[in-house]
């Protein structure tokens, strides 16, 4: 589904990302972990054509993302609050995204009804602009907006940050449903090793822009990741 080849990004002669090869098959729940500055957001930004690669390319369903926009109809993402439109209410924003995705108001309402528990009565009907919501509620709105239009690829950057424990559990169930039952390719970056090992069937570790681990998730994965990041990993 997603193919990365000889990809690099350099700023002022400093290479912040260098991935020779990375293939993510359709329907995989894929986790990207690493410390700050490891290159996680840079990779997602390249995947979404928000920045240009210095070398190489990423293909999404055989479409090179920096040469064509044909990948956009089946791909969605929520990276941060910049993806929102602050002067709209959540409802206005959802309907706007629905129009972009070819969905009418009734379609959007039907989708939103599935996420009442996730919204926890804090998003819809509040007569608030998105800019006035808490960080956590902005994230809830952005994540659900990314689901409008039944995308085949969903990219979420730090989706668990700023969410309370109840909402984190609900989000994990949403992600598992998308990948396991609907065959959606879900890419997640996270600092939360526990959550990412719980929802992702594969985890790649980035360090200084390069892949240092590529793991199929198992019962031992969390301990392996903790040992890696704590520096106690055996040689």
pLDDT at 234: 61
Q: The whole model's pTM is what?
A: 0.93
C-alpha 76/C-alpha 111 separation (Å) is 15
pLDDT number for residue 232: 81
- Positive or negative CA dihedral for 62, 65, 70, 73? positive
Count Cα neighbours of 180 within 13 Å in the Cβ-side half-sphere: 11
Tens-of-pLDDT digits for all 235 residues of the chain? 999 999 999 999 999 999 999 999 999 999 999 999 999 999 999 999 999 999 999 999 999 999 999 999 999 999 999 999 999 999 999 999 999 999 999 999 999 999 999 998 899 998 899 999 999 999 999 999 999 999 999 999 999 998 999 999 999 999 999 988 889 999 999 999 999 999 999 999 999 999 999 999 999 999 999 999 998 876 5
Instruction: Give pLDDT, residue 114.
Output: 93
Q: Which CATH superfamily is domain 2-230 in?
A: P-loop containing nucleotide triphosphate hydrolases (3.40.50.300)
90-100 and 135-145 helices, crossing angle to 10° = 20
Residue boundaries of the structural domains of the chain: 2-230
d(CA 57, CA 113) in angstroms, rounded, equals 38
Q: How far apart are CA 96 and CA 185, in angstroms?
A: 24
Q: Which residue has the tokens 């990041």?
A: 229
Residue burial 142-164, b: 16+ Cβ < 10 Å; e: rest? bbbbbbbbebbbbbbbbbbeebe
DSSP string, 207-228: ETTEEEEEEE--TTHHHHHHHH
pLDDT of residue 33: 96
| Residue indicated by tokens 């019962």 | 219
């Amino acid at each position: 589904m997603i193919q990365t080849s000889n990809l690099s990004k350099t700023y002022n002669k400093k290479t912040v990302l260098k991935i020779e090869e990375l293939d993510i098959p359709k329907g995989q729940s894929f986790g990207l972990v690493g410390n700050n500055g490891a290159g996680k957001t840079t990779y997602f930004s390249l995947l979404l054509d928000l920045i240009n690669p210095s070398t190489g390319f990423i293909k999404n369903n055989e479409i090179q993302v920096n040469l064509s926009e044909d990948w956009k109809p089946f791909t969605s993402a929520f990276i941060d609050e910049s993806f929102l439109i602050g002067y709209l209410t959540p409802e206005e924003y959802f309907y706007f995204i629905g129009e972009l995705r070819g969905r009418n108001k009734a379609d959007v309402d039907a989708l939103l009804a599935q996420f009442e528990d996730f919204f926890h009565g804090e998003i819809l009907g509040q007569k608030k602009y998105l800019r006035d919501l808490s960080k956590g509620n902005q994230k809830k709105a952005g994540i659900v907006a990314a689901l409008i239009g039944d995308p085949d690829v969903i990219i979420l950057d730090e989706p668990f940050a700023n969410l309370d424990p109840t909402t984190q559990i609900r989000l994990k169930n949403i992600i598992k449903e998308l990948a396991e039952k609907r065959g959606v390719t879900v890419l997640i970056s996270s600092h939360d090793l526990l959550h990412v090992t719980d929802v992702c069937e594969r985890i790649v570790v980035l360090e200084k822009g390069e892949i240092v681990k590529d793991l199929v998730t198992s019962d031992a994965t969390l301990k392996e990741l903790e040992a890696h990041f704590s520096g106690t990993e055996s040689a």
